[in-house]
Chain A
Amino acid sequence: MSEVVARLDGITKSFLGVPVLRGVDLELRAGEVHALMGENGAGKSTLLKVLAGVHRPDSGRILLGGNEVSFATPRDAQAAGIAIIHQELNLLPHRTVAENVFLGREPVRRGQVDRRAMVAETRRLLDWLGEDGIDPEAGVVRLPVAQRQVVEIVKALSADARVLAMDEPTAALADHEVELLYDLVARLRDRGMAILYVSHRMREVFDLSQRITVLKDGAFVTCSPTEELTSDQLVRHMVGRPLDALYPERPTEPGEVRISLRDAGNDRVRDLTFDVRAGEIVGLAGLQGSGRSAIARAIWGVEPFTAGVLERDGEPVRIPNPRTAVRKGIGYVTEDRKGEGLALRQSVRDNALLVRRAALRGQAARRASDLAALLKSVNVVAQGPHQEVRYLSGGNQQKVVLGKWLAVRPNVLIVDEPTRGIDVGAKQAVYQLLRDLAADGMAILMISSELPELIGMSDRILVMHEGAIAGALPAGASEEAVMGLATGHGIGEVA
């Protein structure tokens, strides 16, 4: 067994008397990826912040290489060799890679910043990581997100980090970038780094980690080698109950056609021909950039179709802007919940009523009791309708977004990555809600890059490849069939 680099021992932490961590133990070993799992609010971030010196634990010990340490500031933790890669990257976009790596610790020679030494050291570290494709003198603003992450990691390495904690590092990455990150993490591990990896994505955790620790409600649940856990067991540990039916049954017979495309296209997508019927959930699969979301944005009038026909309940229609889409009874839960879905400083109530007020002023006024019923139907947990949505968890925020659409009673709903960044319990609630809506006659077009979810939910799956539909698959298709079509080789089974 390899050397224990860092150990957390019985860490407790409360905020205003509310316990957030209740005696958590954690051991990080050199050359090992240790995954930290748990639902939102389980205490993962707080634990990370204790390790990073942001929060001081109320009790418990932090041991580095066998010696007890205590960090007064994040700088202390950094000096002791602990680096954190946050979800949001902390880089200055208009400076070069090397300048970012040495930000605040620039080597000085004769009173001047020694640029040559900075660049040379950055290049050495990039080479060591096998990322020699990145130019130390390139401006960060021109690098793709995945490479910016590499810069963050190099920054950590240059400060002689021995422990690297990564908080949902793949959240901001496109699919092909995720693969690159996997490689990078594996290389860091092989070079002896102790890595703490926080993620919601089951597959990543099983692919990457050697050991998994699960937290629930701030308490330590289990720690075991990854190979001894199945994903079902892991979910049970996280949720505290079996998730026997994560995806609800598909009972319904589809009804009439709600949305129909005939040879529709624009700059991003082409030759689209398909129907979505009342009561069915049609899945849209494809790699990032394949045109999945472009279809949604075209139907919805953000970037309208320029060719072909779009029919709504059998009538050809033109939808030049979102307002028209809303008025024609189409709802759209966008991929970017915070940027496009919610006004974060507004209350739960104001967000839930946003569409009604913005697009349908004067129509069908809803009373306060209706609002309460609406929020209940999507099962939002909040302190009250006046709480600002930015204080809600991701799952509850997503429920508010869904509620905002249900408030105008559309009969077509497009959902783009409906469970991104929300925990597994909330995911199940969203699945059930979507299925219930379909059972009530909603036509649902669902876009997701999580294949298990797409396959589990969809009645049919359309697979996009380079802007066109590469094929259609029936419910319960295999992941291999979907990926085959999505990547352009392998025809898969055709529905």
Chain B
Amino acid sequence: MNSRLKWRPRLTDGTAPVLVVLAVLLVALAFAGPAYSEPAGYLALLKRAAPLVILAIGQYLVIVSGGFDLSVGSLVTAEVVIAARLINGDDGNTVWVVALLLGFGVLVGLVNGLITTRLLVPSFIVTLGMLLVLDGAVFLWTGGAPRGALSESFRVPGRGSLEIPVLGQVPWSVLILLVVLVGAVLFMRGGTGRTLIAVGDNENAVRLAGGRVDRLRLLAFVSSGLLAALAAILLAGFAGVSAQVGRGLEFRAITAVVLGGVLLGGGRGSVVAAAAGALSLEALFSLLKLVGVSGALESAVQGVIIIAAVAYAAHGAGLRQKLRIRKPAPALP
């Protein structure tokens, strides 16, 4: 059985539909706009989507283990505001500030995770509280308008490109995204990743199998915080400083994950599909812009998608079960 070597979309994981959706959107883009007549257009799309895809990967880790992370949007804002203030336009500050930003992301994830696992507060509430705390702190600190400025070197990962033979100019953010995605796929395929999904499915069974459920959950929150910090760095480089930069990103990431067929409540779904969900969402917004739909409609569209995706998942599960009834089961090889 070599299926462990190949990733293949599986109906039972709910991964197949999102790939179809993504393919349709990408083809539609080619028809809708001249910018997508060559690879550069798609590369630009990937670059725009990179922060959201990275956030979605972090969100996936939390959701699949049975939680939610609503704090990532305001964490992104906080990170960007902190970066501008501390760097203050000086290239010499870039390196230590990046390290500090990543550390701050880990810290927020750690607090989220510890309160969820030790104090047994549902993660929905913990991270909602964290969202408000971070929002308030940013407002208090900036008084509404962020101060300081980013350095040129800080903005390179978000908007710079690397000259790669054959491929030409490849954005740094796309390369970073690839590294994160490959890392996440390898992690999810390994024993710890599989156990993380099992935690979302039945944490009792994992605990009684000798697993450290709390540590695994903590790991998910910390990863989500760290990835949010990374997304913030890319986003700041790409879009610059504002106190609204992260607004609503938590729901966008959750929408992406759900669109990827990941079960809310945990226990089912693939990280590739979650990433594809994020990319689909970004592609959809690009398409809507191209055909002239108002940007104001984005959140409405997102609302419809999240409801439809969950409804499809619920309905689909029933349908799949019906199809399974008494199929003859041959013995295992």
Contact = CB atoms under 8 A, between A and B. Distances in A.
A254 to B, nearest CB: 27
A381 B326 CA distance: 13
Given A323-B210, A343-B202, A358-B211, A383 B329 contact: yes
A354 B10 contact: no
A334 B10 CA distance: 31
A249 interface: no
A322 B209 contact: yes
Interface residues of B, number: 38
B331 A322 contact: no
Pick the most buried of A355, A358, A371: most chain B CB atoms within 10 A of its CB. A358
Contacts of A383: 327, 329-330
A380 B329 CA distance: 10
Contact of B329 (A327, A350, A381): A381
Given A323-B212, A345-B268, A388-B12, A16 B323 contact: yes
Nearest to A15: B325
Contacts of B210: 322-323, 325-327, 355, 358-360
Contact of B209 (A20, A372, A386, A404): A404
A338 to B, nearest CB: 8
Contacts of B212: 323, 358
Nearest to B333: A372
Pick the most buried of B202, B206, B323: most chain A CB atoms within 10 A of its CB. B202
B332 A354 contact: no
Mostly helix, strand, loop or mixed at chain B's interface?
loop
B332 A381 contact: yes
A18 B202 contact: no
Contacts of B205: 339-343, 354
A344 interface: yes
Nearest to B321: A391
B207 interface: yes
Given A354-B206, A355-B209, A404-B209, A344 B201 contact: yes
B198 interface: yes
A342 B202 CA distance: 7
A475 B288 CA distance: 76
B1 interface: yes
Given A346-B201, A391-B324, A385 B332 contact: yes
Interface residues of A, number: 48
Contacts of A16: 323, 325, 327
A198 to B, nearest CB: 18
A375 interface: yes
A20 B322 CA distance: 14
A342 B4 CA distance: 21
A388 B12 CA distance: 8
B198 A346 contact: yes
Interface in B274-333: 322-333
Contacts of A332: 208
B65 to A, nearest CB: 12
A350 B202 contact: no
B327 A368 contact: no
Nearest to B210: A359
B39 interface: no
A382 interface: yes
B59 interface: no
Interface in B201-225: 201-202, 204-212
A314 to B, nearest CB: 23
Nearest to A390: B321
Contact of B10 (A323, A356, A381, A386): A386
Contacts of B329: 381-383
A452 interface: no
Given A15-B325, A346-B194, 4 more contacts: A323-B211, A340-B202, A360-B210, A382-B332
15 contacts: A323-B212, A342-B202, A343-B202, A343-B267, A346-B194, A353-B191, A355-B210, A357-B192, A358-B195, A360-B210, A368-B2, A371-B1, A381-B329, A382-B332, A386-B10
Task: Give the 7 A-B residue pairs with the shortest CB-CB distance, closest first.
Answer: A359-B210, A358-B211, A357-B191, A326-B210, A343-B201, A343-B198, A323-B210
